[in-house]
Amino acid sequence: MTATAFRITPPHRRDLLLTLWLALLGADRLDLFGGATTFSLTPFLALTPVLVVRLLVGRLRVPTALAIPRPALKYVALVCALVVVAGLSVFVSPDPSLSAQRTFLLAVQIVGSLVVVLLRPDLRADPERMLPGVKLGLLLFVVFNVMQGLTFLGRLPQDIHLGPIVLHTIASEYAGLVPRLSGSAFDPNRGGILLVFYLAIVLQVRKRSLARSHNLSGTPWVLLILLLLLGTLSRSSVLAATILVVLTILQRSRLRLHPASVIVGAMIVLGSAVYLVFVPRTFGLLARASAPLASRFSVAEGSAQGHMALLRRGIADATSSVPTLAIGRGFGSSYVFLQDLFPGSRYGNYHSLYVSMFAESGIVALALVLVIALVPAVRAGPYRPLVAALAVFNVFYQLTTEPLFWTIIALSWSTLVIHDASHVRRTEA
């Protein structure tokens, strides 16, 4: 491991906007309107139009043909159909205004992320282009975590006003004992999946160097991501990260470990096991110290049971009648039917992308979402492990209107043809 492992190479001036866009992709703690409107103006909504215009101007200055991969065209057709189906469900919504607003937000996030991905083909060809944004995003994640910790200790106010901008520093809590640190994202689960995305990019960029040598220069970044991930206390994100790492290792069939590393690692594991076995008092101390964390990640924990109950209720609501099965109850309207569980909230949902889409927009919307999410997970492609992890994560969470989700999906669909073409060339050779 080199001393420059944590070095951040300054991005080229023309890439600075893209770097900020990637670093703030999940930053919904920042409201650039300062709460003056009914919705939050996040950095994604503010930066995306500017970035798209910048990319279009660059193409006009140096005219080049825009090659759109064939799978990306299929993706465009699928998401257009999804937006149309979601839009139709607005007419049966008990809150048509909010449903229409959320459908519009869905369309904006799909289009914005897709246009950026298509206008920057180098992102698809070389994930290293995203590395400056990932590293800056990780450093901002740490800064936001420090602020949340200070707020938890009463050292900072919950809202910090920076002119017209409002920065929310309040942290979620577990059992009122420890903060769940979510970085730039407001919700620990969204913060966790942002870290999983960053982890996927770091692993992919370092894949070639790991395969051909023993250079582990990206290790500090990986360790930082894993540490931050534990700070979220998000079970779904930890599960997604585990799936990502396992599938990445399996995908890297020619991975070679240095014999010395294997021997040292085995000695550490064996020594720790012997120590814990023969010193029961130490084991007891560790058990008591880790009890809150172990309880949080247990499937028997209270909120886990609540998740399962919500899934069952969502399926029952979706299949309650033929019209509901066909068109749902209105996109983004789940909160209306869950007021008994989330009183006064406009953000209550079934805690599952698939179940919420089924209940809100019907069986066709569910089928479209499954195709959109699962095709890149089962077909060969560089983002296959990440999309598979994301597909499992969305069983227990809802990323329907999150720009990160649609950015990952756009990247995965647009790189399928690139990967397949290289696979064909290797096979023919």
| Burial tier of 226 (Cβ tally within 10 Å: 0-12, 13-18, 19+) | middle
Rounding to the nearest 10 degrees, give the CA dihedral for residues 180, 172, 201, 3.
-40
Predicted pLDDT of residue 32:
86
State yes or no: pLDDT of 269 exceeds 50.
no
Residue 168 and residue 158 in contact, taking contact as beta carbons nearer than 8 Å: yes
Q: Which residues have C-beta within 8 Å of that of residue 362, sequence separation ≥ 6?
A: 85, 89, 318, 324, 325, 326, 327, 328
* Average pLDDT rounded to a whole number, residues 85-106: 95
Q: Distance of CA 358 to CAs 3, 213, 329, Å? A: 51, 47, 9
Residue 36 has pLDDT above 90, yes or no: no
What integer pLDDT is reported at residue 46 of this predicted model? 93
pLDDT tens sequence across 323-375: 999 999 999 999 998 998 888 888 888 989 999 999 999 999 999 999 999 99
What is the pTM assigned to this prediction? 0.83
Give the model confidence (pLDDT) of 98-144 as tens digits.
999 999 999 999 999 999 999 998 888 888 889 999 999 999 999 99
> 155-170, pLDDT tens digit by residue?
999 999 888 889 999 9
Confidence (pLDDT) at 118: 93
What percentage of the chain reaches a pLDDT higher than 70? 77
pLDDT number for residue 253: 57
Q: Tell me, what's the pLDDT at 429? A: 37
Under a CB-based contact definition with an 8 Å cutoff, are residues 19 and 146 in contact? Answer: no
Is residue 265 over pLDDT 60?
Answer: no
More confident residue, 253 or 104: 104
Phi, psi of 398 (to 5 degrees): -125, 105
**Residue 307's pLDDT band (cuts 50, 70, 90):** confident
Segment 209-246, tens digit of pLDDT:
554 444 445 678 889 999 999 999 888 899 999 999 98
The per-residue pLDDT for 311 is: 86
C-beta separation of 214 from 164 below 8 A:
no
**97, burial (CB in 10 Å: exposed 0-12, middle 13-18, buried 19+):** exposed
Instruction: Determine the 3-state secondary structure of 380 from DSSP.
Output: coil
- In the structure, what pLDDT confidence band is assigned to residue 282 with cuts at 50, 70 and 90? very low
Closest CA to 195 of 423, 404, 419, 411: 404
Query: How confident is the model at residue 2, as a pLDDT?
Result: 42
pLDDT for the residue numbered 212: 47
* Lowest-confidence segment of 84-93, 157-166, 271-280, 420-429 by average pLDDT: 420-429
Sequence-ordered strand ranges (E) for 60-217: 159-162, 165-168, 172-174, 178-180
Average pLDDT value for residue range 166-179: 85
Q: Residue 421 has what pLDDT?
A: 47
Q: What is the pLDDT of residues 363-411, one digit of tens each?
A: 999 999 999 999 999 887 889 999 999 999 998 888 888 999 999 999 9
For the four alpha carbons of 25, 215, 255 and 259, in that order, the dihedral sign comes to negative
> What average pLDDT score do residues 301-305 get?
57
Give percent above pLDDT 90 in the chain. Answer: 51
Look up tokens 């109850």; give the residue: 329
Average pLDDT, the chain: 82
pLDDT band for 64, please (50, 70, 90 cuts). Answer: confident
